[in-house]
Chains A and B, each alone.
Chain A
């Protein structure tokens, strides 16, 4: 076997460094994210890194698949500068408003389009939504084994897999065989820096775009219409408290804190 075909799911997200600027439009109740630059979802970079390590070890191909508007092609190009052979954008107006399961349907159709595949790697969660649903749901829809919370991965040339997944205060070692869909956590590796060579190479890498028609997805199962989950009201959670300034020097401040501890019954 000459290596594996690894598909990496990549999502352009609004830059998490700008989430302080997220506002809710009071008139429409809709999220306003203007002026927020788009970046590759941070945990997807770890998925891509893991794919590149496998490619270096075993050969084979790496394909990036992303459900995102065509306008995000530049963000995909940035991912290709890190590595990978080609990218596929799944873009259609019909996909707008998809919940995690509807999104997974589109992604599964995109993966089928670039099949055969051996392994699908995804970031465990997206920075904006953070459901951790997509790896499991894509696995279910493709009918292959899947794991989330992957901390460590070994794939042998014969396709046997040993993965370590996180549990509370520990980990589990799981064995299985390709094909598989895995959601990786950021502890798994340190993504490489993009080199100038990588940037130059990315210019020549193909980015194909597929819509609902080409993917052959049933429109009743995607987008807002095809989503079982419906959003209600959006709000900004408020954690505001009285914010009383404690006056005075260190001794006075300490005396005040001791007073609070005693008043709450946790000291003295």
Chain B
């Protein structure tokens, strides 16, 4: 590993797949890598894809603008586990010597990134919420600590590559590229040679969540601890349904078991959403949650406590009881829709 700041090395992203599709966060970090590459005057952007029968996804990464895609395809890479993926990735990075390596901070990325950083003795920023490449080639990594209350810039000045895991939902995926990149097939057996494989993933279970996903929803209806129970929670589900929106929640509400599951949690340890309209009910407004809605178009908050901190980070503040507001709002929405004023939505 050379440790020369300022040299124009490549920016890499480590792509991840689930159920035959690229993970959304992989395209998000590819988008940011391409953006940083352009701003730096055009450095190479490459993706690494490790898996089984993933040639098609490698082509897809090339179509989305990766100049080069390193494809490591072998039955031994499915399902994912960090022993094999970590070993192969560390070897590839050591061989190719990129300047920057980005991971999605998914469950897999959360263990794969520190594994590779330890093997290469380099620096890693965790769950970054922003990233940019300074003129001197230093990657500025923005991370949040103390439950979203403190933002810290982190740098890896002396070691290469500079590595970061990136929180899902922070960046936009790239458009299709004009020029397709090349796919480089790696020799999986050679990369695995001499590696001790101590773990074996024997079963993968995925439960596709029901309802409109938070990512990409135009309307998000979110509830907090103030909702007070499973029954009133159903009101929020009804409202979201009327608006073809998604339901979100805070950590305290999730802990009470009112929302359908962890996939609905918004915030530092949950999802980042960017709806056109966010409607929040019974939410106190801790930074843990508000950090996840900072990119929302319009934020409307309803809380019976006029001093709720959430109002500071809202565009419109309604001091009222959600039990009054939500049923009345559903009635009004139905009236508007029933009036034939609305085109049926294409979705």
Contact = CB atoms under 8 A, between A and B. Distances in A.
Contacts of A236: 149-151
B118 A260 contact: no
Contacts of A148: 107, 110-111
B203 A228 contact: no
A231 B219 CA distance: 37
Contact of B277 (A165, A251, A261): A261
A136 B145 contact: no
B304 to A, nearest CB: 12
Contact of A100 (B114, B208, B302): B114
Contacts of B114: 100-101, 131-134, 136-137, 140
A250 B151 contact: no
A29 to B, nearest CB: 11
B177 interface: no
Nearest to A170: B206
Interface string A227-265: 111111111110111111110001101111110111011
A243 B317 contact: yes
A228 B159 contact: yes
Contacts of A136: 82, 111, 114-115, 118
A153 to B, nearest CB: 14
Interface stretch (A68-76, A81-89, A173-181, A209-217): A173-181
A231 B314 contact: no
B219 to A, nearest CB: 5
Contacts of A22: 146, 149-150
A67 to B, nearest CB: 16
Q: How large is the interface on A (under 10, 10 to 19, 20 to 34, 35 or more residues)?
A: 35 or more
A76 B76 CA distance: 43
Contacts of B315: 241-244
Given A19-B149, A232-B154, A241-B315, A167 B118 contact: no
Contact of B156 (A129, A229, A250, A251): A229
Nearest to A263: B298
A47 B207 CA distance: 26
Contacts of B125: 229
A19 B119 contact: no
Contact of A241 (B159, B204, B299): B299
Contacts of B121: 101, 228
Nearest to A176: B199
A176 B200 contact: yes
B155 A232 contact: yes
Given A173-B203, A243-B314, A266-B276, A167 B123 contact: no
A191 interface: no
B333 A267 contact: yes
B319 A170 contact: no
A104 interface: yes
Nearest to A149: B107
A228 B111 contact: no
A230 B162 CA distance: 12
Contacts of A265: 276
B236 interface: no
A234 B263 contact: no
Nearest to B108: A167
A11 B207 CA distance: 34
A156 to B, nearest CB: 15
A257 to B, nearest CB: 6
Given A167-B106, A266-B245, 11 more contacts: A100-B114, A129-B126, A168-B23, A169-B208, A228-B122, A230-B123, A232-B140, A239-B293, A246-B317, A262-B336, A268-B336
10 contacts: A134-B114, A147-B111, A170-B204, A176-B199, A183-B111, A228-B159, A241-B299, A241-B313, A267-B342, A268-B342
Interface of A: 14, 16, 19-20, 22, 24, 31, 99-101, 104, 127-137, 139-141, 144-149, 165-177, 183, 227-237, 239-246, 250-251, 253-258, 260-262, 264-268
Among all A-B residue pairs, the 9 with the closest Cβ atoms? A232-B153, A228-B123, A131-B126, A170-B206, A140-B118, A133-B114, A239-B313, A148-B111, A145-B198
